[in-house]
Amino acid sequence: MAVANNEVQVEWSSSDSVSVTSESNQTSDAFSFTATAFAGMITLKADNAGTPASGDTIDFYLLPTCGDPDGDGSDEYPNDDSDGLFLAQLDTNANDPAIASVTIPVTKGGKLYAKSNAASNSITVSACINEKTAS
């Protein structure tokens, strides 16, 4: 059995990054895992657009899907941080840019939800997934 590493870029309206304004949020486009994926990690990045201040953090959540629970023809996802899986909080006041890699469950796919806790600064977020596949 051969094992491979595949990179999956998380996109935000077809862009590799998005600016999250203070006290707001952004949800990524849907991404999919390869059918032969058996493990995954995600690298999260937060880059403060201004001079970082105390409280300039971003919370990241995974909004996973296992498919179509009610058979209506489309995959369904949790809506936001209240239903998603918490991944990490990145503090741009401690490190700018702030970067973390965490293990994620391999499902059919998902979306990434980024929630800003900053009082005034916008923070640019991006992410990529490394999936291990078997063949």
- Give residue limits of the domains in the chain: 17-127
**Of 21, 8, 16, whose CA–CA distance to 114 is shortest?**
21
pLDDT per residue over 27-60, tens digit each?
A: 999 999 999 999 999 999 999 999 999 999 999 9
Task: Say what percent of the chain tops pLDDT 90.
Answer: 88
Rounded mean pLDDT of 90-102? Answer: 97
Whether 18 shows a pLDDT value over 80: the answer reads yes
In this prediction, residue 9 carries a pLDDT of 97
Region of poorest pLDDT, from 36-45, 72-81, 110-119: 72-81
Q: Please determine, for residue 80, whether its predicted confidence score (pLDDT) is greater than 90.
A: no
* Topology, domain 17-127: Jelly Rolls (2.60.120)
